[in-house]
Amino acid sequence: MQSWILLLTFFVNTTVFAGAYGNYNSVLIGDMAAGMGGAFTGLTGDPAACSYYNPATLARMKGTSLSASANIYNKYDSEYGDYSGFSGGTGRINRGNFRSIPASAGSVAAFGPFAIGLSIIVPDYDFFSGPVKSQELQNTSLNILDESLWVGGNMAVNLSDVSSVGLTVYYTSRFYQKSLIDNFKRSNGTAVLNSEEKTFNNNSIVYLLGYYHRFNSRWSAGTSLRFPSIEVHGRGSYFATSIDTQATNEPTQVAKNELPSETRIPMKAAFGVAYQEAGKRTFSFDVTYFGKERYYDLDDLDARELVENVEIWNFSLGAEFFLKHWLRLRTGLFTNFSSHPPISNDISERRSDHIDMWGFSTNFGIFTSDKVSFTIGGYYTGGTGYSVEKLNQSLQKVKKSQQIFSMLVGSAYFF
């Protein structure tokens, strides 16, 4: 019980909140699962990841286990108004700063056929601070922070020696902040300075069901269903100022508080199959379906953004190899397709970014004993697409590329 309290205190003190749900695999949960590209619906053994991928696998864990932390350190290489591929991003990996994110933690206690646990995860995180490249006489600065925290309880039960079911219920929180300063200089020497700032917080409840079945000593499979989120609370604000040096009138200002806000987390259905040779190697494959949603994030004509999630499929393939009895190599490939529809050239309202990504992962599991393990490695996800930004007092379609390099450090204690 004390370990659960310390675990919860650690995450609350980091003050991380909610995420944008456009690219669902930007943050991989767990340590073993993250190394295998998130292909973990049909596997067990990672207490930080089981509750998120398939809560039924909790019942397959013996005794009590604690995954104290699985932290990632993200290096973001994002550009607006231009494209930067993987080669360009790696060339700048030594520039800028890393963002520390406590990605996941979990505690599981098994007794008889039952298991209960606590899960704390950061399933999504986005950050940008820099220029938006556009017209020659325009200087635009953009800042975005989008954070998430999910805290949940879970329980599972073995139906037989080969099958189990489980349930996880998360309470989620989201914090979103976006500010833009747009300085447009005319050829006659006059200028227009526009500034906007938009923030909102949302809370909701998410719950998922899971089923796990082991066919024999080598083959297993699992499936999980996450239902659409249930909104609890949402409020936001919007501030805007416009100053025209050519005009003689006073600056135009807009200030709106306590605006109703909404964040909908789409449904998710996953199926995974795994092949294991005890003490030698493991292979796993997951296919994941995400449902559709359509809503406005703020209830205000000036500030709102249309958030549209279309139906998409993502895939992940993972492997683990026992190099020594104390050393394991994990690697994976995964897609990170955007659930937001492509952005057309005819822009009538603010829309969410569309960037199709892919990724790969690698990490090492080091077991200093039967009870203690450490994980070190990382993963990459990136791609190119488009964004919609308000430039020169009009909405414009802007090129965007995003490369995210994540270093992962984890530790687990089993007893």
Q: Quote the CA–CA distance of 93 and 380 in Å, as a whole number.
A: 12
Contact indicator for 327, 294 with CB cutoff of 8 Å:
no
Domains and CATH numbers, the chain: 2-414 (2.40.160.60)
Distance of CA 375 to the CA centre of its chain: 20
The alpha carbon torsion through 14, 18, 24, 26 (nearest 10 deg) reads -30
Lookup result for tokens 């790969």: 360
pLDDT by residue, tens only, the chain of 415 residues: 444 444 433 333 333 333 346 899 999 999 999 999 999 999 998 988 999 999 999 999 877 776 656 788 998 888 887 766 666 666 666 666 688 898 999 989 888 899 999 999 999 899 888 888 765 556 788 899 999 999 999 999 999 999 999 999 999 999 999 998 888 777 777 888 889 999 999 999 999 999 999 999 999 999 999 999 999 999 999 999 988 887 766 788 899 999 999 999 999 999 999 999 999 999 999 999 999 999 999 999 988 988 999 999 999 999 999 999 999 999 999 999 999 999 988 888 888 899 999 999 999 999 998 888 999 999 999 999 999 887 766 788 889 999 999 999 999 888 7
| pLDDT score for 93 | 64
β-strand pairing of 99-111 with 114-121: antiparallel
pLDDT at res. 7? 42
**What pLDDT is recorded for position 83?**
67
Dihedral angle, C-alpha 132, 138, 143, 146, nearest 10 °? -50
Cβ(182)–Cβ(26) below 8 Å: no
* Cβ atoms 74, 125 nearer than 8 A: yes
